[in-house]
Amino acid sequence: MTRLELFFGRNVMDREAVSDQDWKRFLDEEITPRFPDGFTVLDTYGQWRNANTIAMERGKELIVIAPGSTSDVARANAIRDAYKRLFMQESVLFTATPACASF
Could you state, in order of their start, the residue ranges of all structural domains in the chain? 11-92
Structural contact between residues 55 and 91, judged by C-beta atoms closer than 8 angstroms: no
Q: Which is more confident, 57 or 29?
A: 29
pLDDT score, position 51 = 76
Task: Give the Cα separation of 88 and 14 in Å (integer).
Answer: 12
In the chain, % helix, strand, coil (3-state, to 5) comes to 30, 40, 30
pLDDT of residue 15: 67
Average pLDDT taken over every residue of the chain: 92
Its pTM stands at 0.91
